[in-house]
């Protein structure tokens, strides 16, 4: 079989890989993108990603520039306020509660929430129509050999490619990262996150709610109505054995447990999707690049799912690669190009991973000092106007 020559090979068609592929093809580069898993047809399909993502302003701007936002915006729920609640010792008692309003910063919303399965489906459709992007679903990355001037890639169906740059967007267990010989540093918390969606009688009013208690955060993020009733996406973090117990519960008992854990703030929660369980880790790659290879998204960094930083950080990676490629198209994949990319992203990735790691440790502890610190911290951050605005700006992806 003869080799296909392309500017860029992307391993992985998750949200980050697809956004990178579409953006780079629109910038004039030839791109081959491979993923062994086609996107699910709907939320109930096997393998459907039940998480949702609150796209912050910089992520929305990137999707707008790639002509993608108009395809997504009808399903996107604006998050106009964030309510943070520190639970008392006994559920469903509330110890401290504060609400942060986007209008306080003269912004219409902190972010826009979209279900991951839908975003991936829409982006896959857009990728298939993008000139210059050769989308190969059902086949994956298999082997890598690099030379000074090119990356030689073999796919699982035997196709062989020569690319100036190979981008690893193939998730937390990234096969391309491994083939490039880049290791990872992983911090485990003994925690898991349950992702699912619920309907509830009390309208969410476009307010996202984060409730802290032992085991970790419980987050309710607004979704469009489900069969005429308000609905929210939920991420429920818990110590591993407790999360496994909750995941195995029968639906109505699980709904009752979730309702109590949510402080009954939206009334009775009724699950409307299955539950998926995710291990909670911080994982960072030892390097963001290797010869002719760049890592993006979860191939480069995984964070606990609080603060809506994971995929948003990934889209900052895409923005950086895109800017670099547009400003130095002839240098694509050279050592200078890769060094500039790594330099632009390394500090930001490390800082976000550190902050989310600390935040998660503080949020999950039920020791009295941690609980008191949470309540005090919440009051301080909210009640001092300058601090509140600074933290809100930072949380919005600045
Ligand atoms: C419970 C939970 C809630 C979250 N909520 C948020 C949030 O609100 N906001 C936010 O910003 N982030 C959030 N995140 C993080 C976010 O969901 C992830 O960062 C994001 O989905 C990962 O995207 P990705 O494209 O890097 O990886 P993935 O979605 O894992 O995509 C990787 C792709 O690579 C493919 N692949 C695997 N092997 C190969 C191969 N050999 N060749 C080619 N392709 C391959 C896979 O099929 C897959 O499609 C959350 C995470 C969790 C766990």
Average pLDDT over residues 260-266: 95
Contacts of 156 (CB under 8 A, 6+ apart): 36, 139, 140, 141, 142
Fold of 71-114+191-280+364-395: D-Amino Acid Oxidase; Chain A, domain 2 (3.30.9)
- Comparing 74 with 106, the larger pLDDT belongs to 74
Write down the pLDDT at residue 362.
78
150 in Cβ contact with 164 (< 8 Å): yes
Output the residue whose Cα is nearest ligand 1's atom 11.
311
User: How high does pLDDT run on average in the chain?
Assistant: 92
The Cα–Cα gap between 5 and 28 comes to 15
The secondary structure of 63-82, three-state, reads HHHCCCHHHHHHHCEEECEE
- Comparing 132 with 370, the larger pLDDT belongs to 132
Question: Which atom number of ligand 1 is nearest to the Cα of residue 278?
Answer: 53
Q: How many helices (H) and strands (E) does the chain have?
A: 11, 20
Contacts of 234 (CB under 8 A, 6+ apart): 194, 195, 196, 197, 198, 218, 219, 220, 221, 258, 269
82 in Cβ contact with 100 (< 8 Å): yes
Segment among 106-110, 199-203, 318-322 with least mean pLDDT: 106-110
b/e per residue, 276-306, with b = 16+ CB within 10 A? Answer: ebbbbbbbbbebbbbbbbbbbbbbbbbbbbb
- For residue 92, cis peptide bond before it (omega within 30 degrees of 0): yes
Pocket-testing residue among 173, 311, 345, 360, ligand 1, by greatest number of atoms within 8 A of Cβ = 311
Q: How far is the CA of 373 from the centre of ligand 1 (A)?
A: 32
pLDDT in tens, 28-48: 999 999 999 987 777 777 777
The Cα–Cα gap between 167 and 341 comes to 12
Q: How far is the CA of 35 from the centre of ligand 1 (A)?
A: 12
Question: Which atom number of ligand 1 is nearest to the Cα of residue 297?
Answer: 26
The Cα–Cα gap between 165 and 254 comes to 47
pLDDT in tens, 174-196: 999 999 999 999 999 999 999 99
Q: How far is the CA of 384 from the centre of ligand 1 (A)?
A: 36
Write down the pLDDT at residue 284.
96
Residues in the chain: 398
Fold of 4-49+116-186+283-359: FAD/NAD(P)-binding domain (3.50.50)
Write down the pLDDT at residue 92.
87
| H-assigned helices in 214-367 | 240-247, 251-261, 310-327, 335-364
Kindly tell me if the per-residue pLDDT of 253 is higher than 70: yes
Kindly tell me if the per-residue pLDDT of 378 is higher than 80: no
Question: Which atom number of ligand 1 is nearest to the Cα of residue 11?
Answer: 43
Phi then psi dihedrals of residue 26, to 5 deg: -65, -25
Kindly tell me if the per-residue pLDDT of 112 is higher than 90: yes
Q: How far is the CA of 47 from the centre of ligand 1 (A)?
A: 12
Distance of CA 195 to the CA centre of its chain: 13
b/e per residue, 189-226, with b = 16+ CB within 10 A? Answer: bebbbbbbbbbbeeebeebbbbbbbbbbbbbbbbbeeb
Kindly tell me if the per-residue pLDDT of 170 is higher than 90: yes
The Cα–Cα gap between 16 and 286 comes to 20
Pocket of ligand 1 contains residue 168 by CB under 6 Å: no
The Cα–Cα gap between 246 and 256 comes to 11
Kindly tell me if the per-residue pLDDT of 77 is higher than 90: yes
Q: Token pair 């990934």 is at which residue?
A: 314
The Cα–Cα gap between 63 and 61 comes to 5
In this structure, the strands spanning 184-199 and 270-271 are: antiparallel
Q: Token pair 């709904």 is at which residue?
A: 255
Domain ranges of the chain: 4-49+116-186+283-359, 71-114+191-280+364-395
Residue of 110, 53, 61, 74 whose CA lies nearest to 309: 53
Pocket of ligand 1 contains residue 33 by CB under 6 Å: no
Output the residue whose Cα is nearest ligand 1's atom 3.
305
Determine which helix (DSSP H) or strand (DSSP E) holds 371, and give its type and residue range: helix 368-383
pLDDT in tens, 289-303: 999 999 999 999 999
Listing DSSP states for 21-87 in one string gives HHHHHHTT--EEEEESSPPPSSTTSTT----EEEEEHHHHHHHHHTT-HHHHGGGPEEE-EEEEEEE
Residue of 179, 172, 261, 148 whose CA lies nearest to 214: 261
Contacts of 101 (CB under 8 A, 6+ apart): 80, 81
């Amino acid at each position: 079989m003869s080799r296909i020559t392309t500017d860029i090979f992307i391993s992985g068609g998750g949200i980050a890989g697809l956004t990178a592929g579409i953006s780079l093809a629109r910038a004039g580069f030839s791109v081959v993108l491979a993923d062994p898993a086609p996107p699910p047809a709907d939320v109930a399909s096997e393998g459907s990603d039940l998480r949702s993502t609150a796209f912050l302003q910089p992520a929305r701007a990137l999707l707008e520039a790639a002509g993608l936002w108009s395809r997504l915006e009808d399903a996107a729920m604006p998050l106009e306020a964030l309510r943070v609640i520190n639970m008392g010792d006994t559920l469903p008692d509330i110890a401290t509660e504060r609400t942060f309003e986007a209008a306080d910063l003269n912004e219409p919303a902190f972010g826009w929430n979209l279900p991951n399965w839908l975003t991936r489906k829409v982006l896959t459709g857009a990728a298939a129509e993008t000139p210059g992007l050769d989308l190969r679903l059902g086949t994956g990355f298999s082997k890598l050999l690099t030379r000074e001037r090119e990356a030689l890639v073999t796919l699982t169906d035997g196709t062989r490619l020569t690319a100036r740059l190979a981008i690893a967007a193939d998730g937390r267990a990234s096969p391309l990262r491994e083939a490039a010989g880049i290791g990872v540093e992983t911090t485990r918390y003994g925690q898991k996150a349950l992702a699912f969606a619920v309907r509830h009688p009390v309208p969410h009013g476009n307010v996202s709610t984060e409730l802290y208690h032992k085991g970790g955060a419980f987050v309710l993020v607004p979704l469009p109505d489900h069969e005429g009733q308000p609905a929210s996406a939920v991420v429920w973090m818990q110590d591993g054995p407790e999360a496994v117990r909750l995941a195995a519960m029968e639906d109505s008992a699980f709904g009752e447990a979730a309702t109590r854990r949510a402080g009954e703030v939206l009334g009775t929660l009724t699950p409307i999707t299955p539950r998926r369980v995710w291990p909670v880790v911080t994982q960072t790659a030892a390097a963001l690049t290797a010869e002719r290879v760049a890592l993006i998204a979860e191939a480069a960094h995984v964070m606990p799912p609080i603060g809506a930083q994971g995929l948003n950080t990934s889209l900052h990676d895409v923005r950086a690669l895109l800017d670099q490629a547009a400003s130095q198209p002839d240098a694509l994949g050279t050592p200078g190009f890769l060094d500039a990319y790594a330099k632009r992203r390394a500090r930001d990735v490390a800082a976000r991973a550190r902050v989310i790691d600390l935040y998660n440790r503080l949020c999950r502890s039920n020791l009295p000092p941690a609980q008191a610190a949470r309540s005090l911290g919440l009051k301080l951050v909210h009640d001092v106007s300058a601090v509140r605005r600074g933290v809100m700006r930072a949380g919005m992806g600045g």
